[in-house]
Structure 1
Amino acid sequence: MDKALVDNLDKFIFKLQGVSDQLKSARTGEFRRSKRNNAAIARKSATEYLSYCSLVRLFRKNIGCLSEPSCVAIFSVPRRWQLEDVHEAAKFILKGEKGVKLCVHPTSKHRRGWEVDPAELFSSGEKLIIFTHEGSAVHEDFELAATVCDQLQTCDVTHLRALSHLRGCGSLSEREAAVIAAQPSERMEAIFRPKRSAASAAAKLVSAKRQDGSGQARHLDVQRGFGEASTWAETLKRDLDDWRQGRLPWSEIDKGCLFFGPTGTGKTRFAAALAADCSMHLEAASVAQWQSFKDGDLGDLLKAMYKAFDAAKENAPSLLFIDEFDAIGDRAKFPSRHETYSTTVVNALLECLDGIVDREGVIVIGACNFPERIDPALLRSGRLEKHIHFPMPDAASRAEILAFHLPTLAAEASLKEIGTRLPGKSGADLERLGREARRRARREKRDVTILDLKAVIRPTPPLDAKTLYRVAVHEAGHAVIARALLLGKVEHVEIYDNVESFASLVDSHGTTLTKFHPSEFVTRWDTMKMITYNLAGAAAEDLVFGHRANWSSGTKESDLAVATQLAVQMVAEHAFGDSLFFLPGSIDRSNAAKLWEDLPLREEVGEILREQHQRAKEILDGLKPSLLKIADALVEQKRLDARQLEAYWPRGTKTPAAANH
């Protein structure tokens, strides 16, 4: 838009108002303005000039409604733009004309109520124009009285180019104008310094964004590649758009969500990207931050907690992200010496999450590794009601994560193969690999290549024949027990020599995939059989070699860990042990130290594990020919599917161990 067109913006108002006067008799002249000196406005304030141009366009668009004697207009302003700038521009356009009142709406509703009185503004019968931030809650009385609602579109490309011309800042391309348009109003004076290149400022903004990596989270596609989380993100974004447009009440939107899963699976990054994708303010906090506030006593912690929620309300619509949410704890499990303190913290958080205080426009997301440690009241409907698991990424997801952190290598065909060869790596692990690859290329002052990525990946050593056979015996043990105890269908068994075959699902030397029979209830014998199945690999090694390797233990997902958890659950939760007591929540199965201190429980669990390990050995000893044949076939073929395994199952009836139960 050239200077002549800028100078004539108001003329459109006069023409359209003339037409409006002819169509409707009840018209007033508040918006009839004489020609203004746009150059003078631009020299005075960049933000006022841009606000002025945007308001002129908005007034022109709604001239018919604005000319009505009792008009109440609600105009929403982008959150990056200060309401005071728009208010000053509106006062300049109207020049204190009688018959029109301007109101800057509060950004949030405080505990004492709204800090604005609609009745006082309505009492004079004058026209009322209300400016509010986009997506913010508006006083119910204003919404009832509104005759027109519209959005102020700031930083139009033509307005930016006109401002640059009037301030002697040179010309702007479409791309440069788009970069500037995304900036908050506070930066406009720095960008449009008189006689300085605005294009140069835009280039600096792009460069700064690349250096600090701030653009990555905004470009992370949360609506694909994250399974259930992506589905929820898509629904939430659609619901928020409907809420902003007034088509959906806040009561219909999910109030909160819990992200849980292993460390490094991208829960924090996903939350930040979700806030950007939904155009929400991100307020980040953690229980540790609240505890470290000032002196860290109970009063200081509660003040920090309330402050985080108040900040989220002030900037609504916003996403309040609370990291390490499981640190809040469970009121039923607090030690007596900390019970009063910890219970008060949980109760205060419950009040913040709902209670009598409204938090419209605020989505709360908690992230943790151990959801079982959280007080159940925090996770019920109306609070963190949605629970989404973030698993370790699979082969396809690992390739996508690497492509995200190394975008110049996204088209490389070998990137997918590399992702397949990194089982057990979390999103954080893959981000580190990308960082190391870029550092390697930076040292040699060149662009990163696929060779840089391969160079920073530690290759898995190949297995010798002796070790490979032991792995085959271990996996064959799981398969034979699954078949003997009729647990379900063994889909496949495979081992990895790291030469011809490689692990892609989990970081292990072999896997047995069994599709278990579904059941609506669990019996004592069902649980016993699952324990036997999990101990079968170790039992097979003991049977064939006289001792076992450490493959059955060492991690929370290992065979022995799963078997132990099942045994604890049998005794403490299902009353399948020697006693019939039931104390819900009395045992924290994720806390190994506490389990070790409970001597009666430890002895009973140990007895169950020894009994089922011996049962597995006895069953495998009776089916040893099948066990060894499957192991030999695995060493040769590396993988056996359900159809191939049929040839190795023993013919005839059930085994005695399975038939007796």
Structure 2
Amino acid sequence: MDTAFRENLDQYIARLQEVSHLLNGPRSPWPLRIKPDGRALARKSARFFLAYCGLIKFIRRNFSALAQPSFVAVVTVPAHWRLADVEEAAKIIFKDEKLRFCKHPVSKHRRGWEIDATEYLASSKLIVFAERGSTIHEDFELAATISDHLVLATDRHLQAVGRLRGCGAIPADLVHLVAEQPSERLDAIFRMGQPAERAALRLQKQKGNRPPSDETKQLDVSKGFGAASVWAMELKRDLQDWRDGKLDWSEVDKGCLLYGPPGTGKTRFAAALAAECEMHLVATSISKWQSSKDGHLGDMLKAMYRAFANAKENAPCLLFLDEFDSIGDRAKFHSRHADYSTQVVNALLECVDGIEGREGVVVIGACNYPDRIDPALIRSGRLEKHVYFPMPDANARAEILAFHLPSLGEHSSLKEIAARLPGMSGADLERLARNVRRVARKERRDVTIDDLRAKIEPLPILNEGYQFHIAVHEAGHALVAHALKVGKVERVEVFDNVQNFATDTDSHGITVIVHPTPPFKTRWEMLNLIAMHLAGAAAEEVFFKDRSTMASGTSKSDFAKATEVAIEMVTQFGFGTSPYFRPGSVDTNSPSDMWQDHRLRTEVDEILQTQYARARDMLSGLEITLVKFATELARAKQLQGVQLEKLWPGAPTSNETDARKC
């Protein structure tokens, strides 16, 4: 090989004319005027040909170093290219040379490297192919005489393979879409004799015609998303300071967990955040890794490593991991799949740990149930920042509607309409906007505000009887909360859906209580909280001798909240019949878990029954105050401040107040 390099590189490359014999197939009379090596290779495989082209450029750049009697070349390959494809092309180029190749693992396991570097380094001529962004074996880094990266699938090479395979040219504005595809897809794009432009157009359709950055910038992440908005703006400032050299990367939040109800727009928020912070976005999920190829453990781990390597390669980058709770908890895996799942969690731990030393990469995990995630993944030093992602408030709902219906973004009635859609998630609002656009599209006109109004199901008008029933329920919550000092009752409301509408929650009434944040809670305080949650239903039973569905029916209902507190008391704080500790032993989102644990079910039932009876007895003794409170609330629709002070038990009457003034 050394002599060939010294004489003439072109003479050396000419030896590739024997490639057609290596490919074990007779030449077909394909009318291409090109040397036999390139023609045969291009006809055999588009990806091999592109890898061949990239390697030839690598050889030209490193001519002198490769001409030495001994060398170690560490060559990084784009993450979306299979190392096996590049190695196959390299074997064709160097087929007569005593040269060894190594496909480098993507990551180092806790038990060490899966390759023996000493064995490979015993060869005088070694080329190591590694995914760009991955960690390189320390011995290879020390021994390397060449460190370079392959430039694959350039515009020129893509157009060349299209001509050689009879696929025609690719439009210039679509070449980049083809270039970013995984190498295993290239043979599908460049099918012999089929137009590559058709495949490129399909790729464009899948991706969408509008650039994601332009779309996501319309969504304002600075407001409407509670603590997530606060964190987003802090991250933006820190990233700018890091870019300006004012802040070390170690001071930037590199991992965050967004958790909250499904459909709230966590994915869209992450995309908007990446655009706001001017970062590249790599969005993936546990299920995408799982569905990679055959879904075997090796396939899943490769997909996982590739995502992290891609993020590092495109830094500054936001790596978004959706469905993060599906990774599971090693302590809770069923024995049948425990080995597979444990290795997946361990690999993810390695990847997240690796991010700490990779400048410019922020990892965001999104989930609905953070308690299902292995604690090691969300501890300090990993995804240590935990931000609750709420259902959108009235302002955020208006912004989401404006995002999906941009022609109505400045309409004066949009905020009013959005305010009357409490409980709707980002996904619900997107579906609503889609239905509105469909109506206008059928009639071949622009969307109007009346189209939006027509698609909103009108709320039921609540007459005076319903309003009083709701007022009794809310009065029960307020009176018990005040009596037991659960927190400060700030506001109590009922809605008639004519002049008064719910804007915060999808409910007929609301009692707003500011709860204290003490350093610890007593058993009695937790029982008081349960009694307060059950007091609405208890008030209905006291006055109407019956209760309605207002206290139950959803995971956020009064009964659900009381049950969750009771389960925590028994399993986490030792406030049951025995002071034992079993945190997370019951999935409160899975009813079967609780029903199967008979001891827990009995203890929780006793707590709930006792506190319900306690709330009912308290309100029975305050029935006159309860009726007075409910009557005033039904009349005024909202009570707060001084209005509430006059209605608490023991408050002086108007006559007594006048007498004191005299």
For the Cα contact (< 8 Å) 1:71–1:146, is it kept in 2? Answer: yes
Q: In terms of mean alpha carbon deviation, does 550-559 or 265-274 score higher?
A: 265-274
Paired with 1:503 and 1:357, the residues of 2 have a C-alpha distance of 43
Match of 2:632 in 1: 629
For the Cα contact (< 8 Å) 2:83–2:130, is it kept in 1? Answer: yes
Cα distance change, pair 428–309 in 1 and its aligned pair in 2 (3 A)? same
Cα distance change, pair 416–553 in 1 and its aligned pair in 2 (3 A)? same
Alignment of 1:51-200 (within 5 A): 51=51, 54-55=54-55, 72-87=72-87, 103-106=102-105, 116-126=115-125, 128-160=126-158, 174-188=172-186, 191=189, 198-200=196-198
Deviations 1:519-543 (A, max 9, x none): 1122243234323432343454455
Match of 2:522 in 1: 523
Match of 2:612 in 1: 609
Structure 1 SS opposite 2:496: coil
Paired with 2:476 and 2:178, the residues of 1 have a C-alpha distance of 65
Cα distance change, pair 85–611 in 1 and its aligned pair in 2 (3 A)? closer
The unaligned stretches of length 5 or more in structure 2 are 15-32, 310-319, 356-362, 653-662
For the Cα contact (< 8 Å) 1:72–1:129, is it kept in 2? Answer: yes
Instruction: Kindly state the Cα deviation for residue 587 of structure 1 after the two structures are TM-superposed.
Output: 7.6
Q: Is 1:593 the counterpart of 2:602 in the alignment?
A: no
Paired with 1:31 and 1:283, the residues of 2 have a C-alpha distance of 51
Structure 1 SS opposite 2:473: helix
Match of 1:354 in 2: 346
Structure 2 SS opposite 1:494: strand
TM-score relative to the length of structure 1: 0.66
Q: Is 1:475 the counterpart of 2:474 in the alignment?
A: yes
Amino acid at match of 2:595: A
Amino acid at match of 1:557: K
Instruction: Kindly state the Cα deviation for residue 185 of structure 1 after the two structures are TM-superposed.
Output: 3.4
Paired with 1:359 and 1:200, the residues of 2 have a C-alpha distance of 37
Cα distance change, pair 171–194 in 1 and its aligned pair in 2 (3 A)? same
Structure 1 SS opposite 2:118: helix
Instruction: Kindly state the Cα deviation for residue 511 of structure 1 after the two structures are TM-superposed.
Output: 1.5
Amino acid at match of 1:611: R
Cα distance change, pair 190–536 in 1 and its aligned pair in 2 (3 A)? closer
Cα distance change, pair 643–438 in 1 and its aligned pair in 2 (3 A)? same
Alignment match of 1:584 (pick from 562, 582, 585) = 582
For the Cα contact (< 8 Å) 1:424–1:507, is it kept in 2? Answer: yes
Paired with 2:300 and 2:184, the residues of 1 have a C-alpha distance of 25
Paired with 2:382 and 2:11, the residues of 1 have a C-alpha distance of 55
Cα distance change, pair 136–379 in 1 and its aligned pair in 2 (3 A)? closer
Q: Is 1:459 the counterpart of 2:462 in the alignment?
A: no
Structure 2 SS opposite 1:131: strand
Instruction: Kindly state the Cα deviation for residue 551 of structure 1 after the two structures are TM-superposed.
Output: 1.5
Paired with 1:184 and 1:410, the residues of 2 have a C-alpha distance of 40
Instruction: Kindly state the Cα deviation for residue 108 of structure 1 after the two structures are TM-superposed.
Output: 6.2
Amino acid at match of 2:420: R
Instruction: Kindly state the Cα deviation for residue 203 of structure 1 after the two structures are TM-superposed.
Output: 2.5
Instruction: Kindly state the Cα deviation for residue 348 of structure 1 after the two structures are TM-superposed.
Output: 6.3
Q: In terms of mean alpha carbon deviation, does 379-388 or 593-602 score higher?
A: 379-388
For the Cα contact (< 8 Å) 1:630–1:648, is it kept in 2? Answer: no
Deviations 1:188-219 (A, max 9, x none): 456557887654543333235459x9x98998
Amino acid at match of 1:135: G
Amino acid at match of 1:593: W
For the Cα contact (< 8 Å) 2:325–2:373, is it kept in 1? Answer: no
Structure 2 SS opposite 1:466: helix
Match of 2:506 in 1: 507
Deviations 1:346-397 (A, max 9, x none): 5764455339997789999998766667887897779997766554343444
Alignment of 1:401-480 (within 5 A): 406=404, 411=409, 413=411, 416-434=415-433, 436-437=435-436, 453-480=452-479
Amino acid at match of 1:80: H
For the Cα contact (< 8 Å) 1:481–1:620, is it kept in 2? Answer: no
Amino acid at match of 1:605: L
Amino acid at match of 1:139: H
Cα distance change, pair 461–608 in 1 and its aligned pair in 2 (3 A)? closer
Paired with 1:115 and 1:587, the residues of 2 have a C-alpha distance of 37
For the Cα contact (< 8 Å) 1:471–1:509, is it kept in 2? Answer: yes
Instruction: Kindly state the Cα deviation for residue 512 of structure 1 after the two structures are TM-superposed.
Output: 1.9
Paired with 2:206 and 2:327, the residues of 1 have a C-alpha distance of 36
Instruction: Kindly state the Cα deviation for residue 610 of structure 1 after the two structures are TM-superposed.
Output: 0.3
Match of 1:12 in 2: none
For the Cα contact (< 8 Å) 2:476–2:626, is it kept in 1? Answer: no
Alignment of 1:20-35 (within 5 A): 29=6, 32-33=9-10
Cα distance change, pair 609–58 in 1 and its aligned pair in 2 (3 A)? same
Residue identity over aligned pairs, in percent, reads 41
Structure 2 SS opposite 1:354: helix
Alignment of 1:244-393 (within 5 A): 261-265=260-264, 279=282, 283-284=286-287, 306=297, 310=301, 312=303, 315=306, 317=308, 325=326, 342=334, 345-346=337-338, 349-350=341-342, 352-354=344-346, 389-393=388-392
Match of 2:656 in 1: none
Paired with 2:171 and 2:203, the residues of 1 have a C-alpha distance of 15
Cα distance change, pair 348–498 in 1 and its aligned pair in 2 (3 A)? same
Match of 1:17 in 2: none
Paired with 1:129 and 1:83, the residues of 2 have a C-alpha distance of 12
Aligned residues: 583
Instruction: Kindly state the Cα deviation for residue 433 of structure 1 after the two structures are TM-superposed.
Output: 3.7
Instruction: Kindly state the Cα deviation for residue 510 of structure 1 after the two structures are TM-superposed.
Output: 1.8
Paired with 2:354 and 2:7, the residues of 1 have a C-alpha distance of 38
Paired with 1:185 and 1:356, the residues of 2 have a C-alpha distance of 24
Paired with 2:191 and 2:373, the residues of 1 have a C-alpha distance of 53
Paired with 2:515 and 2:9, the residues of 1 have a C-alpha distance of 78
Match of 2:20 in 1: none
Structure 2 SS opposite 1:284: helix
Instruction: Kindly state the Cα deviation for residue 515 of structure 1 after the two structures are TM-superposed.
Output: 1.1
Paired with 2:62 and 2:629, the residues of 1 have a C-alpha distance of 83
Paired with 1:469 and 1:284, the residues of 2 have a C-alpha distance of 49
Cα distance change, pair 253–625 in 1 and its aligned pair in 2 (3 A)? closer
Paired with 1:90 and 1:329, the residues of 2 have a C-alpha distance of 42
Amino acid at match of 2:176: A
Match of 2:496 in 1: 497
For the Cα contact (< 8 Å) 1:483–1:490, is it kept in 2? Answer: yes
For the Cα contact (< 8 Å) 2:489–2:514, is it kept in 1? Answer: yes
Cα distance change, pair 416–192 in 1 and its aligned pair in 2 (3 A)? farther
Structure 1 SS opposite 2:513: strand
Structure 1 SS opposite 2:287: strand
Cα distance change, pair 441–643 in 1 and its aligned pair in 2 (3 A)? same
Deviations 1:222-253 (A, max 9, x none): 99587777969998999xx99xxxx999xx98
For the Cα contact (< 8 Å) 2:226–2:390, is it kept in 1? Answer: no
The unaligned stretches of length 5 or more in structure 1 are 1-27, 290-302, 332-340, 654-661
Cα distance change, pair 434–575 in 1 and its aligned pair in 2 (3 A)? same
Cα distance change, pair 86–496 in 1 and its aligned pair in 2 (3 A)? same
Instruction: Kindly state the Cα deviation for residue 516 of structure 1 after the two structures are TM-superposed.
Output: 1.5
Paired with 1:326 and 1:129, the residues of 2 have a C-alpha distance of 36
Paired with 1:177 and 1:588, the residues of 2 have a C-alpha distance of 53
Structure 2 SS opposite 1:501: coil
Cα distance change, pair 614–142 in 1 and its aligned pair in 2 (3 A)? same
